[in-house]
Amino acid sequence: MGLEYVKISPGFEKYMPRDYVDLVTFGQFGKQVDVMQLGQFKELVEEHPMCAGCYMAYFIRVFYAALPNPEDTIVLGTAGCARLALSQAAVPFIYGNYGDTNAVASGLKRALSIRFPDKVKDVVVIAGDGGLMDIGFGMTMHSWFRREKFTTIMVDNEVYGNTGGQESGMSPKGIQLKMAPKGKQFDKINAVELAQTAGCVYVARISPTNPKRIAKVIRRAILAAREFGPTFIHAYTSCNIEYSIPTREVLADARAREKKDFKFYEWMTDEVKEYLEEIERKEKEKAKQEVQK
């Protein structure tokens, strides 16, 4: 899109919907918001039909607040619950056939770098466990083998949530689901290890218990992808419907899983580490100077 495209032409403010005017006036275009300011600025994502208490929806909310450059970002999604919110945000969203996100993102990122050689355009895939690790598995893996420079975020609810509870490769062994009544026979796929082996330069596993940390990981993954290659975030985002979690307990469940099998994990190559540390050091200095002013 670009910043100029987002702004309202002078004189047209009164004809634009209120939510759009708020977005341009009190939103995050053209500035870097701190995720801790949530609830005090107009968010990029709007009302959407994901279920009450869905922590995939929560993760998506934090994702948009964390974008380093929303006006120059394109998000790709696929069939599954996440697209219900991704399609309601003020960031261009591409939706293809089920599981094709990483093939489409590869072509898109390459085309953008040819069309806009002097600009940074971020491409981010957000898709479910079924989309990335089952049906789109080949496309996910090959985008990593080819070292495509975009970020893949797997919102893992350990089930096909959108179609009523079939098991996925990411469902835990033994789990009984509506459409897996005998219990899953195989282990949960180790996605983080696969990503590392396949060539991702930055990999993280996270449970959504700490918005500041989610934002940091998302930012790091996007910045690293610009320069070095594929980056991957494996996020636990429970499905309270298929796993029968009372909505009031959804955050408690995320905290419990963080202690068990979703311990925070972050890995990156040495050159990515050096690059990110340099950027973060400069940002800290700038913030310090601003406080002194």
Q: Which of 45, 66, 76, 81 binds ligand TPP (CB under 6 A)?
A: 81
Instruction: Work out the end-to-end distance of the chain between its first and last CA atoms, rounded to an integer number of angstroms.
Output: 33
Which one of the spans 48-56, 135-143, 163-171, 180-188 is the region binding other proteins (CB under 8 A)? 48-56
Which one of the spans 57-65, 72-80, 103-111, 277-285 is the region binding other proteins (CB under 8 A)? 57-65
Q: Which of 23, 33, 54, 124 binds ligand SF4 (CB under 6 A)?
A: 54
DSSP-derived secondary structure for 170-202: TSPTT--BTTBTT---SPPP-HHHHHHHHT-SE
Give least dist CB 143 to other proteins, A. 29
Which one of the spans 181-189, 250-258, 261-269, 272-280 is the region binding other proteins (CB under 8 A)? 250-258
Measure the CA–CA gap between 70 and 59, rounded to whole angstroms: 16
Which long-range contacts does 183-190 make (Cβ < 8 Å, 24+ apart)? 188/158, 188/261, 189/133
Give least dist CB 289 to other proteins, A. 23
Measure the CA–CA gap between 108 and 130, rounded to whole angstroms: 22
Tell me if 81 contacts ligand SF4 by CB under 6 A: yes
100: Cβ contacts below 8 Å, ≥ 6 apart: 78, 136, 139
Q: What are phi and psi of 115, to 5 degrees?
A: -70, -35
Binding mask 94-133 for ligand SF4 (x = CB under 6 A): ----------------------------------------
Compare residues 27 and 130 and give the one whose CB is closer to ligand SF4: 130
Compare residues 53 and 199 and give the one whose CB is closer to other proteins: 53
Please list every residue from 210 through 239 that binds ligand SF4, using CB under 6 A.
239
Please say whether the beta carbons of 50 and 56 come within 8 A: yes
Compare residues 40 and 244 and give the one whose CB is closer to other proteins: 40
Measure the CA–CA gap between 288 and 293, rounded to whole angstroms: 9
Compare residues 85 and 268 and give the one whose CB is closer to ligand TPP: 85
Tell me if 128 contacts Mg ion by CB under 5 A: yes
Binding mask 140-179 for ligand TPP (x = CB under 6 A): -----------------x-xxxxx----x-----------
Q: What are phi and psi of 126, to 5 degrees?
A: -125, 120
Tell me if 50 contacts ligand SF4 by CB under 6 A: yes
Measure the CA–CA gap between 264 and 208, rounded to whole angstroms: 10
Please say whether the beta carbons of 74 and 56 come within 8 A: no
Q: How many residues bind ligand TPP (CB under 6 A)?
A: 17
Give least dist CB 291 to other proteins, A. 17
Q: What is the DSSP letter of 70?
A: G
Please say whether the beta carbons of 163 and 111 come within 8 A: no
Binding site for ligand SF4 (CB under 6 A): 50-51, 54, 56, 81, 157, 161-162, 239-242
